[in-house]
Amino acid sequence: MASTPLGDYLRSRRALVSPDDVKVPSHGVRRVPGLRREEVAMLAGMSVDYYVRLEQGRERHPSAQVLDALSDVFRLDDEARLHLYRIAGLAPASSRAILPERVDPQLLQLLELWPDTPALVLGRAYDVLAGNRLAYALFDGFRHGANLLVKVFLDPTARTFYPDWEQAAANTVAGFRLLHSDAPHDPRIRQVLRTVSEQSSDFTRLWARHDARGKRHESKRFHHPDVGEVTLRMEAFDVRSGPGQQLVVYHAVPGSPSAEALRLLGTLDATRAEEQKTT
């Protein structure tokens, strides 16, 4: 039976929910993790045959009521529910024209007004479209034209830069999955997906989990070659002037060692810039 994005996603979610999570009595030895198909069908109020047809791709047009019921069974958050609707064809993918991406000049000015706060603008395929000086100093090599997904999976320094690499990689893949479901035919998204899929088995492993969630408020650890370990809070915002773009801002707790490390990093970057002017 041919696989479909909807069937793949349902199987991946089913494997992540245990009987205890949904208060279903568990009897006998389970050959696979998570819920059985008949348990999902019972909890969602549908026939086992209908649910099996969804997973197998023989039923491709579920109703909104069916998707809502499955979302409840799998305990999907708003972003994962939106992803489910998109791959089921009930939420329209992006209809915006696929044009070269540019960053609003006023947003560029705003980035420069934050000399002590690393900030980046990511595009619809996680390309780095812009950043301020401290962001480029923190993310060594993240100049215009770099790509976050490529950096995480294909840059040999990534596992040192991200002490919690597995978590950072999983979050990056989940965010890219959400971008992909919004614009699955975008040439740049497909190009990045193909490049990383062909060169990273870790990416294909995480991609197969079908997690879908955007960047959110979280704490991230970095190990910078000049200033050592830095722990920063991350905030992400949708850019209304550039649909598909995200503004990602990092900040340290005031007075913390990480705040001092950021200050030192800014000083080192400014010193190097002055030295380059005089050479």
Write out pLDDT tens, residues 126-163.
Answer: 999 999 999 999 998 665 569 999 999 999 899 999 99
- Separation of alpha carbons 159 and 152, rounded Å: 8
Q: State whether 53 and 174 are in the same domain.
A: no
CATH number of the domain at 64, please. Answer: 1.10.260.40
Tell me whether strands 218-224 and 228-238 are parallel, antiparallel or unpaired: antiparallel
Provide the pLDDT for residue 256: 96
Alpha carbon distances (Å) from 46 to 8, 27, 43, 62, 135: 19, 22, 8, 11, 50
Q: State whether 136 and 16 are in the same domain.
A: no
Q: State whether 172 and 53 are in the same domain.
A: no
Q: Which of 67, 75, 83 is nearest to 175 (CA)?
A: 83
How many structural domains comprise the chain?
A: 2
61, 87, 113 - which closes a domain: 87
CATH number of the domain at 219, please. Answer: 3.30.450.180
Q: State whether 232 and 112 are in the same domain.
A: yes
Q: State whether 124 and 37 are in the same domain.
A: no
Q: State whether 243 and 274 are in the same domain.
A: yes
Q: State whether 81 and 30 are in the same domain.
A: yes
Q: Is residue 157 part of a domain?
A: yes
- Separation of alpha carbons 108 and 152, rounded Å: 25
Tell whether the model's pLDDT for residue 215 goes beyond 90: no
Q: Is residue 137 part of a domain?
A: yes
Q: Is residue 94 part of a domain?
A: no
Element (H, E) at 80: helix 78-87
Residue span of the structural domain in which 257 resides: 105-278
Q: Is residue 25 part of a domain?
A: yes
Provide the total of helices (H) and of strands (E) in the chain, helices listed first: 13, 5
Provide the pLDDT for residue 241: 86
Tell me whether strands 128-131 and 218-224 are parallel, antiparallel or unpaired: unpaired
Q: State whether 115 and 204 are in the same domain.
A: yes
Q: Which of 79, 27, 33 is nearest to 212 (CA)?
A: 79
Q: Which range has the top average pLDDT, 21-30, 84-93, 162-171, 237-246? A: 162-171
pLDDT digits (tens, 9 = 90+) for 32-59: 778 999 999 999 999 999 999 999 988 8
Read off the pTM: 0.85
- Separation of alpha carbons 50 and 59, rounded Å: 8
60, 87, 114 - which closes a domain: 87
